[in-house]
Amino acid sequence: MLTPRVIHFEIYAEDIARAKKFYEDVFGWKIERSEGSVEYWSVITGKGDEPGIDGGIMKRQGKEPRADTPISTYICTIGVPNLDEYLNRIQKHGGKITMEKKPIRGVGWYAYCLDTEKNIFGVMQPDASVR
């Protein structure tokens, strides 16, 4: 029996080239144009034998989200080895921190950010010793 799990994500972008550059520069992801009639870019986040999921980037349809509105979507969280280093990278490449680094007891450190397309995402550094 199939266990329900998150198996794919999509990032919506006003400017696909800008979003592609942001995620390649910050996280080192491989992003390539997919075949088909819709402009869709496949996102490979790591090696197939590592935990995690892959996704895609596509053109945003409709209105642009605003950073000052309540969160009304799923948030994907990206595991990183050093949260402070990645928060610096995110800002260096045009992203913004929307919720500063916070602890989750027994789990690790996390923060929320906006990419260059104003999509919110989480970053987390696992650390079971956090109290």
pLDDT tens track for 30-72: 999 998 778 899 999 999 898 899 999 998 876 655 556 665 5
Helix, strand, coil: what percent of the chain each, to 5?
Answer: 15, 35, 50
In a domain, 1, yes or no: no
In a domain, 4, yes or no: no
Whether 5 shows a pLDDT value over 90: the answer reads no
Q: What is the dihedral of CA 10, 11, 15, 16, to 10 degrees?
A: -50
The number of distinct structural domains making up the chain is 1
* CA dist., res. 32 & res. 95, Å (int): 21
* CA dist., res. 86 & res. 75, Å (int): 17
Average pLDDT for 61-89? 80
In a domain, 3, yes or no: no
Share above pLDDT 70 across residues of the chain, in percent, rounded to a whole number: 92
Range of the domain at 71: 9-126
In a domain, 2, yes or no: no
In a domain, 68, yes or no: yes
